[in-house]
Structure 1
Amino acid sequence: MTEVTRTLRVGVPVWRPEVPVVHRAPVSGSRRCHTAVIGAGLTGLSVALRLAQRHPDRDVVVLEAARVASGASGRGTGLVGPRIGPPLRTARRRYGDERARALHIWSERAVEHVIALCARHHIDCGLTPGSQLLVARDRRARIAMERESAAAAALGVRLTVVAADEMPAGAGRSLGGLRYAPAATVDPAAFATQLAFAAERLGATVHENSPVRRIRHGDGPIRLSTDAGEVLADRVVVAVNGSGANSRTGVLGMRVQAAATVPLTNAQLAELGWLRDEPLAEIGDLAPYYRLTPEGRLVVGGGRIERGAHGSDPLDVEYLRAAVRALHPVVRDVPLEYAWSGPIGMTLDAMPVIGARGGGEMVAVGWRGHGIAASTYAGTLLADRLGAEDGSAPEVFPIPRGRAPALPSIRPVLRLLDLYLARLGRARDRALDSPSHDSGVVRIDRRR
């Protein structure tokens, strides 16, 4: 048999690698502004864009520790979905029906906001509107599906139950599923990058390589100290998510992984082309999920999560390969071309942290890997609230708060968390078919 040589780009996301790099100067010396935003991801850039658009007289400065979209906003999988917080059945028990319903409706509006924002600012990010399909592969997942469907019916929110015999061709064997809409997919790095350009065109300033080392409150403006200067601001928005997780917000930084194949052939797309406007995810902890990019690459994620938000290499390439093989026989031998990991922010109660923190600070973090729609919408609403100095704007989120429940800080507790995450990963391995023998030679390319 002829040996096949393949190149796998490790630690490199698939998103627009050919886009020219734009260098933005770090903060130097001291500068004054009305609003300083910490973090140039989707949340922070949405704040900056909205403020620059509606209040051009107020100077807005964005401080980014690395580069625009260098965190989750540029290393996700581009799924724009309507869910937020815990499952609906849990939200009903914890918060009551009124607020559980408000949470879901808020998340639907977040998706609609992203679609409208891309149209308004002519953002070319491969936006593909559609829906999302969650499938149950085993009895436990089917029970979870039925409970979520019952909760949605009780709340009167949109959720479609899909019977096993109504699944799209090529979705594989299942016990049924749930269809969420509205939804969409995007190139997340292109989306974030063009949000930055749009904000800058309207007068906002973005400084890269400007990590905020200290926030000082006192009489007068808030002082943000960086390595080479400082920014004095009347208002501050903290939008750092997993990369800047700390006890002040109650957010724990984690890393999750994804990969992208080479472009599929026409024959393969004939079987799986429906994934372009309806990504598929399995119900369950760390379950695999799949989407297609506009150029026909299959993107897969799931299987591993690791404490600590820093790093870009994938956590388990073999799992990602096995997940592709398990999806459909037509892609069994399709090689991966990109594999990477990215940071997310987790909270103990599965709810994001969105609201005021006192002393002129506001915060929006903790998206749990489902933040494209929610973070963009929250950033816009935070800007509206900042713009209404008299407090006349409505609350940004149905359950506003400035921090999440306290995180465990005792080393043995964190070690137990690591062991639990590892066990989940092993369980997810067992859920996939055993990977078949690969006779090809895989060459690893670690160039950045």
Structure 2
Amino acid sequence: MDVSHALAGAVPQSFWLDDPGRPAALPPLREDVRCDLAVVGAGYSGLWTALLAKERDPGRDVVVLEGARIGWAASGRNGGFCAASLTHGLPNGIDRFPDELRTLTRLGAENLDAIEATLRKYRIDCDWERTGEMNVATAPWQVAELREYADLAAQYGEQVEFLDAEHVRAQVNSPSYLAAAWDREGCAIIHPAKLAWGLQRVCLELGVRIYERSPVVALEKSVNGPSLRTKQGKWVVADQAVLATNAYPSLLKRVRPYIVPVYDYVLMTEPLSAGQLAETGWNERQGIGDSGNQFHYYRLTADNRILWGGYDAIYHYGSRIRAELDQRPATFSKLAQHFFETFPHLEGLKFTHSWGGVIDTCTRFCAFFGTAHSGRVAYAAGYTGLGVGATRFGANVMLDLLSGKPTELTDLQLVRTKPLPFPPEPFKAVGVNLTRWSLDRADHNDGKRNLWLRTLDRAGLGFDS
């Protein structure tokens, strides 16, 4: 299929960030400062931490240091799925945290409700739609898995409805759909950049000091507390600090082996016409993901474009992160072909934006947490693509850890344990790429996992797209 015409005019930039409503740049840090809490990184993780810290103690002096612009990385480039799950789905949670999964499910639902309440309280307009998410089967072997998932979800009190081919195609018109499991409450779709910009506004209104274009290059321990040095040579000395850099190399070297940065890619279509939208259906506007190991995720925007992303998850040797890697024509072409196979009636539709960027993955596919500098520094990382909602939970975890007092969150196995680290190169690259190849083979072999994948399953070590 020749998709070059559909891709010809695509702007190589995140659709979400290509917005005339983007806030003006904030100034960089130009002098040494002292504060109660310093936050490194102004994506969701850092902004939620700053906001919640001020809500807990309005008098707390909070400084946020951002290396580039607010939300420029994963927080402004993701698909806009704000999910309740804290464990990257129930099956992963059962495998890793069976004894506390009911608690984690409850906490995840409470966290999602709290996000919605915060948006109302502070009048943050981020195109929030609590439409739920539908996982669709596009191969026969996936149908039984979705039926089992719907039954499993019911055991944990989640409203997940199994749909056969007729009923799922009545929801969204695609000849590739064989079945679906629709979680009606556990996910919202949003405009990701507007969420980041809204959190920025609220933080500033609450008195948080935010400095953009102030990359932190060093973290030192001192008698006065964690000391952070920016690239410009300015210092922030704090009583406590939070590291919210996620996929980017941690200021704590011991954390780095737990994270692998993988590149994810996305396309955005032009708005559908009224006729195209009517033929597609999608009246409930739920987010959608297909059920392969290498999967697509997609959803409608407020102006009825379709965001289409996923499938390829590209790791570069040595955990390289480079701006030029944000564009990958081979992947964009593959995604476009898959799009028109899923929605053949939309042939002729064009893509207006194409972009990519890194997400942070770890071997348990959900966030991990920790402290350093005698409990005065906290960190969270490893969200593996589900950080839109879970970062608020992670912010509360980090603040609880810094308090030094046991709480329901700090007592969780999820918080007290770490994933297995990745091996050093060249073994890391070999393992990641062999796993990706094996997952592709499984998708084309009725889901059957080869010896390598079964070995990883037994070891609790793996890779997820």
TM over 0.5: yes
- Aligned-partner Cα distance in 2 for 1:4–1:414: 35
What is the deviation of 1:170?
Answer: 0.9
- Aligned-partner Cα distance in 1 for 2:260–2:215: 19
Q: Does 1:109 align with 2:125?
A: no
Paired letter, 1:107: G
Alignment gaps of 5+ in structure 2? 447-465
Q: 1:337 to 1:93 in 2, by over 3 A?
A: closer
For residue 204 of structure 1, what is the aligned residue in structure 2? 208
What is the deviation of 1:103?
Answer: 2.3
Paired letter, 1:130: T
What is the deviation of 1:360?
Answer: 0.9
Q: Does 1:379 align with 2:395?
A: yes
Q: Please tell me whether the aligned partners of residues 35 and 233 of structure 1 are also in contact (alpha carbons under 8 angstroms).
A: yes
What is the deviation of 1:151?
Answer: 3.0
Q: Does 1:324 align with 2:329?
A: no
- Aligned-partner Cα distance in 1 for 2:281–2:46: 34
Aligned pairs for 1:294-373 (under 5 A) are 294-307=302-315, 308-311=320-323, 312-314=326-328, 316-357=331-372, 358-373=374-389
* 1:124 partner SS: coil
- Aligned-partner Cα distance in 1 for 2:404–2:313: 43
What is the deviation of 1:356?
Answer: 3.6
For residue 286 of structure 2, what is the aligned residue in structure 1? 278
- Aligned-partner Cα distance in 2 for 1:239–1:105: 25
Q: Please point out which of 42, 60, 65 is paired with 2:44.
A: 42
For residue 68 of structure 2, what is the aligned residue in structure 1? 66
- Aligned-partner Cα distance in 2 for 1:381–1:94: 19
What is the deviation of 1:37?
Answer: 0.7
Q: Does 1:183 align with 2:187?
A: yes
Alignment gaps of 5+ in structure 1? 432-448
Q: Structure 1 length normalisation: TM-score? A: 0.86
Q: Please tell me whether the aligned partners of residues 46 and 195 of structure 1 are also in contact (alpha carbons under 8 angstroms).
A: yes
For residue 249 of structure 2, what is the aligned residue in structure 1? 244
- Aligned-partner Cα distance in 2 for 1:155–1:40: 34
For residue 15 of structure 2, what is the aligned residue in structure 1? 13
Q: 1:33 to 1:281 in 2, by over 3 A?
A: same
Q: Please point out which of 234, 259, 262 is paired with 2:267.
A: 259
Q: 1:87 to 1:184 in 2, by over 3 A?
A: closer
Q: Please point out which of 388, 408, 411 is paired with 2:426.
A: 411
Between stretches 79-88 and 68-77, larger displacement belongs to 79-88
* 1:135 partner SS: strand
- Aligned-partner Cα distance in 2 for 1:26–1:171: 49
Q: Does 1:394 align with 2:408?
A: yes
Q: Please tell me whether the aligned partners of residues 11 and 340 of structure 1 are also in contact (alpha carbons under 8 angstroms).
A: yes
- Aligned-partner Cα distance in 1 for 2:270–2:261: 30
* 1:68 partner SS: coil
Post-superposition Cα deviations, 1:286-325, rounded to whole Å, max 9, x if no partner, equal: 2122211001111101121112444322461111211220
For residue 461 of structure 2, what is the aligned residue in structure 1? none
What is the deviation of 1:203?
Answer: 0.4
Q: 1:186 to 1:201 in 2, by over 3 A?
A: same
Post-superposition Cα deviations, 1:34-55, rounded to whole Å, max 9, x if no partner, equal: 0011110011101111222332
- Aligned-partner Cα distance in 2 for 1:240–1:413: 21
Q: For the aligned residues, what is the CA RMSD?
A: 2.8
What is the deviation of 1:279?
Answer: 1.5
Q: 1:46 to 1:4 in 2, by over 3 A?
A: closer
Q: Please tell me whether the aligned partners of residues 53 and 399 of structure 2 are also in contact (alpha carbons under 8 angstroms).
A: yes
* 1:375 partner SS: helix
* 1:220 partner SS: coil
Q: Structure 2 length normalisation: TM-score? A: 0.84
Q: 1:322 to 1:424 in 2, by over 3 A?
A: farther
What is the deviation of 1:10?
Answer: 1.6
* 1:129 partner SS: coil
Q: Please tell me whether the aligned partners of residues 253 and 345 of structure 1 are also in contact (alpha carbons under 8 angstroms).
A: yes
Q: Please tell me whether the aligned partners of residues 125 and 186 of structure 1 are also in contact (alpha carbons under 8 angstroms).
A: yes
What is the deviation of 1:65?
Answer: 1.3
Aligned pairs for 1:207-246 (under 5 A) are 207-228=211-232, 229-244=234-249
- Aligned-partner Cα distance in 2 for 1:267–1:173: 21
Q: 1:255 to 1:131 in 2, by over 3 A?
A: same
For residue 455 of structure 2, what is the aligned residue in structure 1? none
Q: Please tell me whether the aligned partners of residues 275 and 291 of structure 1 are also in contact (alpha carbons under 8 angstroms).
A: no
Q: Please point out which of 60, 71, 78 is paired with 1:76.
A: 78
Q: 1:50 to 1:276 in 2, by over 3 A?
A: same
Q: Please tell me whether the aligned partners of residues 89 and 147 of structure 1 are also in contact (alpha carbons under 8 angstroms).
A: no
What is the deviation of 1:120?
Answer: 0.9
- Aligned-partner Cα distance in 1 for 2:47–2:365: 24
Between stretches 76-85 and 182-191, larger displacement belongs to 76-85
- Aligned-partner Cα distance in 2 for 1:68–1:88: 32
